[in-house]
Structure 1
């Protein structure tokens, strides 16, 4: 096997999680799969939790890759940027849930149960949105994110269906006048 990298470890751990579930995968199993001792993994990760946090956040970043960074070149106003950014967040999480509910459940449950991982994910989202809008008031952005949480929080995944975009647009129409004032 070639050089052991953080990316290779994450890929191997992801494959094992997909086959066995996160609870059954140990650092020893990841090391065995790579042909190294589990102690060698500590060169790249502090502990098992550090590996799972990296794995979960990498999975989320992959499904949300269109937000990191969000391309705003075709936009003429911040209201449209915000709408589309929120919809992509919603759509991508909904598709991840629909396409692979088991892996969606594994990774989102891990993040929701680990305040540090959740904080990193929320900070990544806030930074992406702040950069896209060129708007630095994080309190305002966090308030907007909370208002739309039913469309992106895994806790509501079972409610996502073919009417989700309709409901998203209904909320958007209610919020839009205040959002326009915010950016003017």
Structure 2
């Protein structure tokens, strides 16, 4: 079983790496309640659909959400949907995350304006740590992730994958469950090999 997870490729914005996991986040289901009712920024990036959806989603935890497009050109419908959710939109590119005494206090734009914010959500590019699976020749889906059956079995006989290496949105509990399901399938697979060998020896 391969359970090597994924890595987050973060936007190249000053302050993002330094505040990652504290003032800069990506998962509202993990951190939304902790930062509820605060002035929240959502910064657009290379993961376009994720960040646009995120702006609407995070509105469930705060009445004060601003989406910084940061180079993303929103369609008329996308603007309408964000406006309907009372999400503010700023089209001026982001220069940096402003930090004071170790805490986020705002977003500085390229025109020098600072928009006060205490929390920033970004959309990393999720990259599976699947070099081993690729080197063995596992079939990949159209989205680039390794294909598995419901038990985690890859296209390579006897090789399973579990967790974020094959399922990017899986949270810890889902990944643990996938590992358990794969382990049971592996046990059945090995049992069948043992039985087949035993029968051949009779």
TM-score by length of 2: 0.28
Which is richer in strand? 2
TM-score by length of 1: 0.30
